[in-house]
Amino acid sequence: MQEKHIKRIAFILTLLGLSILYIYAQEADLKPSLESLNQLPSSKITLQGKITTLEHTDKVTFITLEAQRQEITLVLIFNPESLYLKQGNVIQVQGTIEEYNGKKEIIADKITLLSS
């Protein structure tokens, strides 16, 4: 009889703990969202996501990055001499948030290829 009570208490506490974790996970904002990017001044940031579009010019490469939360961010790379990226690659971008024509974009300092 005592073992049944211990099992019931353990089950109830487990459900209570999972419920608290679920509520906390809904409230926590662990990664920057597009809205939070628009509220930040020029600052350093690290994002990772999948390349949806890639456009090369002579002096700059434009990457549209689909982040993990399905947000789209424009990334600019100046002097991309040895850049071997293609659409569908998953990358990590470290750079600076800048505003151009009223929109936030990231000027990349470092790009790391995570998967092809």
- Condensed to tens digits (0 to 9), the pLDDT of residues 61-72 reads 888 877 765 566
> Residue 23 pLDDT more than 70?
yes
Tokens 């579009």 identify what position?
53
Record the pTM.
Answer: 0.51
Backbone angles phi, psi at 79, to 5 degrees: 55, 60
Q: Which residues contact 17 (CB under 8 A, 6 or more apart)?
A: none
Determine phi and psi for 38, rounding to 5 degrees.
Answer: -70, -20
Tokens of 110: 């470092």
